[in-house]
Structure formats: C-alpha cells, structure tokens
Amino acid sequence: MKADLLAQLVNVLGEERVSVTEADRLLHGRDQSAHPPHLPDAVVWPHTTAEVSAILKLANERRTPIVGWGAGSSLEGNPIPLRGGIVVDFQQMNQIVAVHAADFQAVVQPGIFYKDMNKILGRHGLFFAPDPGANASIGGMIANNAAGTRTVKYGATRDNVLALEVVLANGDIIRTGSRSVKQSAGYDLTHLIIGSEGTLGLVTEATLKLAPLPEHFSAVLATFSSTAVAAAAVYHIIGSGLGPAALELLDAAAITYMNLDEAINLPVAPTLLMEFHGPTVETLQTELALVQEICTDGGATHFSAGVGREERDRLWHGRHQLGEILFRAHPGERYLITDVAVPISHYPELAAYTADLMSRMGLQGALFGHAGDGNLHTVVFPPADNLAIDLHSFNDQVVEKALRLDGTCTGEHGVGIGKQKYMVYEHGETAIGVMRQIKNLLDPHGILNPGKVLGD
C-alpha cells in the first residue's frame, strides 16, 4: 500500500476508519472455509455510498484490488483477498433504511446481519426468509446468493431481492430493479449482481422482499433405515404437493454429532427434519397427518411432530450448530466442506452415491443437506490412520456425480476459490467466455475481488 494512496483513503474516511494493523488485516484474511488466508494491505470501514464510490475510484485509478467484506462467514474463500489490496468492511453500514410493511418490503444497508435484522422486522410481523444458518450479513448473502433451510418454500436470496444500489469498479453508482414486484424493463442487472461474489460491483443498498411471520410452526422428525431410503422419501414429500417450509436430510453420523449438544437427544438414524407453517393448528395438523402417511409408506421407522415454537427452536438450534459441533469434535484436523445440488428426482441417487463414497474412502464426518431443494452437503475429515488421503478427490467425485445428474457444482456456497475448476465443465467454454466479457466490461482493470469465480 503506497503512502499516498493510504493518505487519500484517510482523507476520505478519517484515520479511525482506515487500518493497516496486522490484527485487522489478519481478521480480514480468511473466511470460515479451509482455504489458506491471504492478508489485505489495508482495511477500510465506509459509512455511505459516496464514500464507497470514492474508495473504488481511487482503487481503480491505482489498479489496486478491492474486496467487499460482510461477516466473513462464507465457506468457499469468497472474500479472501488473494491479491492483497483493500478490504472494504461494510459492518458500519448496517442500518434498515426503510420498512414498507404494507408492501412486505424493507430497504437495508449491506452490513446489517441477517438475524439482527429479522429481530427488528419481527416487530412489524415480517421476516426475510432465506436462512443461511450463520448470522451472515445481507451484503454477503447477496454476493453469494445464499440460501439455506427455508429455500424449499421461500427461495434463495436471489428470489427475495427486488432492487439494488451498486457501486461499479470506476466509482459509478447505479440502481437496479424497483420496488414493484413485477419487473420487465430492460436487462435484469439485479440478478446479474446477485451471486457475483463482489466481482462486478459492491452493493451499498438492497430492497428486500419480506414474508409475514407464520402464525403456527411445527417441527417434524422422521427416521429411516438408511440415508438412501430417507432421500427417496424427500421426493415423495415434495411430489405430493405438501409445502414444507424446510426439509433437511441428516445421516446417522450427523445425528450422533448433534446429540453431543446436551439439549438434543434424537434417535441415531438417518433423519428428515422438517418444518411446516400454517394459519391455524387444525390446518397444520391436517398437513402433518399427510406427511406422516407419506413417510410411513416410504419406510419411516419413527415419526414425531411437535406443534409449537419451543420444540421447533430446539431442533433447529441443533441443526444450525452442527458445523460448529463437527469442528469441535475434530480440533485442528484437515477438513473439506462440499456443496452440490441436483434436480429433486435425482436427489436419492446423489445422496446414496455420496454416502457410499464416504464409506469407501473411510472418511469421518457427516452428510446433510437442504433436501427439499436438492442441495447436499458433507463435512469430512481424513481418517486418523490415513492423514494423506486426498479430500479434494472426494470433492471432485461428488461434483462430477452431481453434474452427471444435471446438477451444479455449488448450490449455495458460491464458486469462490475451490469451485473454479468446475466452471467450464458445468457451463461450457462459450458461456464462460460471455461471463468474462461481462467481467471485463464492468471491471476492465480487474480490481474487484480478483482471482474469484472465473479466476485469472
């Protein structure tokens, strides 16, 4: 970081919002993935869109890399500053600008955290439905098109954003979309930006589509004899026309890890964890009776449903803590997180293949996923007696299987660093060429999150 550029950043933001300390750089050098850290040269904390514009204009003139930063909770190295440069931390741009309760919308800044925002929106009887599990920032969710447990009913982030304010690489500010739910005017720049991982522009404001808080919840557990049988039941549940708000698959190992939490005591077997919403207890119970019949016919060995928030919260707390529990159980060990998705009809085959591959390779860890939308994850660790095992080979085989089943190499974690090698295989050379043209048009000097999505 040249002294004159640093001085210009201080002139824009003030000394207290520009840092080159090793502590701040270390904090912004890695996310929650297994990818190695890379330190930025400086970290800055803007308060306004105008300040973000000024930062990007300076960086573009100096050909200095720029990486946006939210909560650092991503899982594919998405915000790791591979080329150093400036990390733009949005945590001080964390306000709800407006709530349009009558339209089920909110306008927010990118640094606001998902769970914190929903606590405020709950006072209006509303919530932002995509649930990545972690308390991610809205800007990070937009950058990665985050999804999560409730995607099967409400869609991913991309399905719940109406408009954006974006600062381009040269500092220009654009607005995409509108507050109208129906939009058909021109190219869809909003959805172009969502999921681009900060490689096309930095989001400084977002208009979100909200949902009303449901009147009644019910958590449902169904256990099965094998992961393959449980995955097959998913297809029948979705195909029946029932509308689960969440439908998660957890193998027996995942349940064993969850039970390490003293608040959780579940039967150790492949399990479907579901959630249903309803306007009345009676309508909810009718739906639960139908799903019980489907699960029983599909080979369920146990079925239980609890109508009420307390039971539902207990079970989802265990599910959301699964990743943390896994890492506590394997401290300091090498690990790999996978994220693929396929059409729902192919989900049983993908789950069975992945479970068998884990067994054949002797990997420790767990298989789980947002089964209702065909998304499958694993967290795997090499066996203690074979630390040289190639975890990347496991990932390659799972991705190749998903692609052969007309799926994708990443359902929700994004491309980041680890999934770049699959992009041509999934999209083809011509489509990748078009993506590069878009990147070069919006960021001709390649300063925005360089080395990500399309690589160099």
The total of other beta-carbon atoms located within 10 Å of residue 268's CB is 13
Cα 28 to its chain centre, rounded Å, is: 19
Q: Are residues 301 and 323 in the same domain?
A: yes
The total of other beta-carbon atoms located within 10 Å of residue 304's CB is 13
Looking at residue 429, its amino acid is E
Q: How far apart are CA 367 and CA 231, in angstroms?
A: 12
pLDDT of residue 34: 87
Q: Are residues 31 and 16 in the same domain?
A: yes
- Of residues 455 and 47, the one with the higher pLDDT is 47
pLDDT of residue 68: 98
Structure tokens at 154: 């409400």
- Contacts with 119 (C-beta within 8 Å, 6 or more apart), sequence order: none
Q: Are residues 222 and 362 in the same domain?
A: yes
Residue 282 has pLDDT above 90, yes or no: no
pLDDT of residue 307: 59
- Contacts with 358 (C-beta within 8 Å, 6 or more apart), sequence order: 365, 367, 378, 380, 394
User: Taking residues 160-165, what's their average pLDDT?
Assistant: 98
- Contacts with 205 (C-beta within 8 Å, 6 or more apart), sequence order: 49, 97, 107, 108, 109, 110, 164, 165
Structure tokens at 106: 């909110």
Containing H/E element for 230?
A: helix 227-239
The total of other beta-carbon atoms located within 10 Å of residue 232's CB is 18
Structure tokens at 72: 């650092």
Residue 3 has pLDDT above 70, yes or no: yes
| Domain end point (choices 167, 182, 212) | 212
**Partners of 375 in the beta sheet?**
341
Cβ proximity of 141 and 132 under 8 Å? yes
| Domain end point (choices 91, 112, 130) | 91
Q: Is residue 432 part of a domain?
A: no
Q: Are residues 201 and 226 in the same domain?
A: no
User: Taking residues 39-61, what's their average pLDDT?
Assistant: 98
Chain segment 179-224, per-residue pLDDT in tens: 999 999 999 999 999 999 999 999 999 999 999 998 888 889 999 9
Looking at residue 161, its amino acid is V
Helix and strand numbers (H, E) in the chain are 16, 18
- Of residues 277 and 385, the one with the higher pLDDT is 277
Chain segment 302-348, per-residue pLDDT in tens: 998 875 677 778 888 889 899 999 999 999 899 999 999 999 999 99
| Domain end point (choices 26, 60, 91) | 91
**Closest C-alpha to 278, from 317, 314, 241, 243:** 243
pLDDT band at residue 284, thresholds of 50, 70 and 90? confident
Q: Are residues 343 and 385 in the same domain?
A: yes
Q: Are residues 144 and 248 in the same domain?
A: no
Q: Are residues 316 and 347 in the same domain?
A: yes
The total of other beta-carbon atoms located within 10 Å of residue 119's CB is 10
Give the CATH number, domain containing residue 52: 3.30.43.10
How many residues does the structure list for the chain? Answer: 456
Q: How far apart are CA 92 and CA 320, in angstroms?
A: 26
Chain segment 70-100, per-residue pLDDT in tens: 999 999 999 999 999 999 999 999 999 999 9
Structure tokens at 375: 């998304």
| Max Cα distance, the chain (Å) | 71
For the CA atoms of 374, 113, 83, 19, what is the dihedral angle to 10 degrees? -170
Q: How far apart are CA 449 and CA 282, in angstroms?
A: 51
Give the CATH number, domain containing residue 126: 3.30.465.10
Q: Is residue 82 part of a domain?
A: yes
pLDDT of residue 318: 87
Residue 146 has pLDDT above 70, yes or no: yes
**Closest C-alpha to 148, from 75, 68, 214, 243:** 75
pLDDT band at residue 385, thresholds of 50, 70 and 90? confident
Domain that holds residue 68: 3-91
Q: Is residue 168 part of a domain?
A: yes
What radius of gyration do the chain's Cα atoms show? Answer: 22
Chain segment 398-439, per-residue pLDDT in tens: 999 999 999 999 999 999 998 999 999 999 999 999 999 999
Q: How far apart are CA 5 and CA 412, in angstroms?
A: 36
**Partners of 275 in the beta sheet?**
219, 246
Q: How many domains does the chain have?
A: 3
Q: Is residue 118 part of a domain?
A: yes
pLDDT band at residue 370, thresholds of 50, 70 and 90? very high
- How many percent of the chain have pLDDT more than 90? 85
pLDDT of residue 215: 84
**Closest C-alpha to 312, from 242, 217, 243:** 217
- What average pLDDT does the structure give for the chain? 94
Q: Are residues 286 and 166 in the same domain?
A: no
pLDDT of residue 315: 84
Cβ proximity of 52 and 13 under 8 Å? no
Helix ranges (H only) for 114-226 are: 114-121, 138-144, 151-154, 189-193
Q: How far apart are CA 68 and CA 140, in angstroms?
A: 8
Cβ proximity of 397 and 389 under 8 Å? no
Q: Are residues 144 and 223 in the same domain?
A: no
pLDDT band at residue 383, thresholds of 50, 70 and 90? confident
Chain segment 244-275, per-residue pLDDT in tens: 999 999 999 999 999 998 778 889 999 999 99
- Contacts with 440 (C-beta within 8 Å, 6 or more apart), sequence order: none
Q: Are residues 85 and 168 in the same domain?
A: no
**Closest C-alpha to 373, from 149, 216, 184:** 149
